[in-house]
Amino acid sequence: MVEDGSYLYNEAQEEKNGEKTPDSLHEKCKTGIEELDRKLSGGIPVGNSVLMVGSSGSGKTTLSMQFLIDGARNGERGVFFTITEPLFKLIKNMENFSFYDKKLIEEGKVNIIDLRIISDRLGLDTEKYTVEDVNALLDVLKDIADELNVKRLVIDSITALCYRLQSKEMIRNFIFKLGASLASMDCTSILTSEVPPNEIKYSQYGTEEFIADGIIFLGDVNRRGDIIRTLQIIKMRGTAHSRTKSAMSISSKNGIELAPLLKSRE
């Protein structure tokens, strides 16, 4: 028996009937992960900022990169701002996946930018930001996104950015400024959020989720001794979506894939 049977949204049927619900009026940004797009009734609503939450190794970076690569393949330029992994390591890891396409990077359809290098060029202390530093960084981030005319943007990770701020108040101000900045851009974004394993929380600092139009949680379940990766859409403004947990796999051949999660018989 499967857990993921309750949700059935049939766009084709709706179109056939000539009906247009408010949901179908939203333009969608396909993630490129077929089952995830189905669970989102077609994809992430264009313009949404989505928090991709999970513990270390849960697949946040891989899913975000797959989202950018798929967009680039379909003519949507993307930018990936990394602050957790050095560029060469990130690329080396991604080269293992068949979805990765070096050509898209070389042609500038997917731009990978190390925020530490930008901080360095701005003359900032890369480990500790002041209010002015973080504002300067946000301005550069927006300038890059506007200049490149990107339709998809990833920040990996928002947690690592907040970690460089010295007080809760600074983090709160930064998060709201980032939210306003993203809202003014013409793109759909994924912000990755690192949380401790086996905890139901969506952010390290408790404020990151306030600017998120959507939250996707990458977790684990234990099935008879095996640890299975899971994905669950917690919220997504602007669309009907499934809230059931799916089993998630990561493979070189197919990248991230979802499947129904079998109910435990234990």
Ligand X SMILES: Nc1ncnc2c1ncn2[C@@H]1O[C@H](COP(=O)(O)OP(=O)(O)OP(=O)(O)O)[C@@H](O)[C@H]1O
Of 16-24, 116-124, 145-153, 246-254, which segment contacts ligand X by CB under 6 A?
246-254
Report how many helices (DSSP H) and strands (DSSP E) the chain contains, helices first.
10, 11
Helix (H, G, I), strand (E, B) or coil at 236: strand
Q: Does 74 bind ligand X (CB under 6 A)?
A: no
Of the candidate residues 46, 91, 136, 250, the single one contacting ligand X (CB under 6 A):
250
Around Cβ 101, how many Cβ atoms within 10 Å? Answer: 16
Q: Judged by CB, which is closer to ligand X: 41, or 84?
A: 84
**Residues between 14 and 73 that touch ligand X (CB under 6 A):** 54, 56-62
59 is written with which tokens?
């697949």
CB closer to ligand X, 149 vs 251: 251
CB closer to Mg ion, 14 vs 85? 85
58 binds, among Mg ion, ligand X, none (CB under 5 to 8 A by kind): ligand X
Number of Cβ atoms within 10 Å of the Cβ of 199? 9
| Residue 54 interaction partner, one of Mg ion, ligand X, none, beta carbon < 5-8 Å per kind | ligand X
Is 61 a residue that touches Mg ion (CB under 5 A)? yes
CA distance 211 to 263: 33
Measured CA distances, 64 to 52, 107, 153, 232, 266 (Å):
8, 19, 9, 15, 34
Binders of ligand X among residues 181 to 200 (CB under 6 A) are 194
Piece in contact with ligand X (CB under 6 A), picked from 115-123, 141-149, 167-175, 244-252: 244-252
Give the amino acid at 7.
Answer: Y
How many residues sit in the footprint of Mg ion (CB under 5 A)? 1
Residue 82 tokens read as 């990394």
Using alpha carbons, select from 212, 188, 218, 209 the residue that is nearest to residue 60. Answer: 218
- Using the contact rule CB under 5 A, the part of the chain among 57-65, 97-105, 199-207, 213-221 near Mg ion is 57-65
Eight-class DSSP state of 84: S
The Cα 2–Cα 25 span in angstroms is 31
Interface with ligand X, residue 86, by CB under 6 A: no
Closer CB to Mg ion, 69 or 261, in the complex: 69
CB distance 163 to 88 below 8 Å: no
Contacts to ligand X by CB under 6 A: 54, 56-62, 84, 96-97, 194, 250-252
Contacts to Mg ion by CB under 5 A: 61
